[in-house]
Amino acid sequence: MRAMSNPATAIPSRAPSAIAADDTVMPFEVAALDLRGRVVRLGPLVDEILEKHAYPQPVAKLLGEALVLTVMLGSALKIDGRFILQTQSDGPVRMLVADFTVPGKVRACARFDKQRVAAALRSGQADAGALLGKGHLAMTIDQGSDTSRYQGLVAFDGGTLEDAAHEYFLRSEQIPTRVRLAVAEELRAGEGGASHRWRAGGILLQFLPKSPERARVADLDPGDVPEGVEPHTLPEDDAWLEGRALVSTVEDVELIDPALSSERLVYRLFHEPGVRVFRASSLRAECSCSRGSVEVMLKSFSQDDRDHMVENGKISVTCEFCSANYVFAPGDVDAKG
């Protein structure tokens, strides 16, 4: 380590931590290239959520990716609230929902067509694009009141969640962004035979220069350009080209490796320009449903809708995220009650 020559600007530097911490998100900054990003590392959290749902393997993998992306984007929220990521599409996997509640609660679930997923698996057409099909990805920030609900929407057709995220940042935010997502089952030999557990991880990189000139997105489609006219294209900034090239070298195994710390991962990528890391925050799998919130929801329905929900003299509601079951006597959830 070099001596601090200028005490006014020196940032203490140290070796990257070797300790890998699961279920965390760690922000970082590469000041020399105007890059900022986050590394997400999920261990027991993603295993708990995916194991509980027991979805077919490719559906679980997709939901794991959605979860990583949700943590990546939701953890940028500075104030209390919830970030919700949701896909809706015409493929065998009709819907993926994951949400992140500040400061670090996450949950996720999927809706899919069993037969179509099985058919896709049999035909060997079970990659992300084939499973999702055509539809859209919605990202909502919910801060409690209706007025602060903000939604971003992007269409996708046969691509991955990474592709959809890139498209979203290009169109809606106009921030040059690269996202890498990885999910895998780790097999380990044990006493009772091999056991497996889910692991997931990802890295987000964004180019955020101080000068607005450099922040312009180069590869945005200019729209209606008359035939024969070359669209005006901006050259990509060298710093962003370098950052993007570096992040594209990250392999899936590096993103999920339980022995590779988030600090070592970013150091591996950005040791040359220099990288600054910020305190990682921890995440946990926890649903936000409650008997009280289900009661409020039931009371908001029409009497007719509630009457249709009565079975054997009871209204039973199961949370799609965590499978918690809430049972009410019809009289308990009357609008008047």
Which parts of this chain interact with Zn ion (CB under 5 A)? 287, 289, 319, 321-322, 324
Q: Measuring CA to CA, which residue among 49, 108, 41, 33 is closest to residue 72? A: 41
- The rounded Cα 26 to chain-centroid distance in angstroms is 14
| 269 versus 287: smaller Cβ distance to Zn ion | 287
Omega before residue 103 within 30° of 0, cis:
yes
**DSSP class of 171:** I
Place of tokens 């959290």: 45
Backbone CA torsion sign across 189, 194, 197, 198: positive
Closest distance of CB 112 from Zn ion, Å: 19
Going by DSSP bridges, is the β-strand pair 82-89/134-142 parallel, antiparallel, or unpaired?
A: antiparallel
Closest distance of CB 16 from Zn ion, Å: 37
Closest distance of CB 324 from Zn ion, Å: 5
Closest distance of CB 44 from Zn ion, Å: 18
Backbone CA torsion sign across 161, 164, 165, 166: positive
| 21 versus 102: smaller Cβ distance to Zn ion | 102
Burial class (CB in 10 A: 0-12, 13-18, 19+), 34: buried
| 111 versus 271: smaller Cβ distance to Zn ion | 111
| 108 versus 165: smaller Cβ distance to Zn ion | 108
Closest distance of CB 287 from Zn ion, Å: 3
**DSSP class of 170:** I
| 39 versus 289: smaller Cβ distance to Zn ion | 289
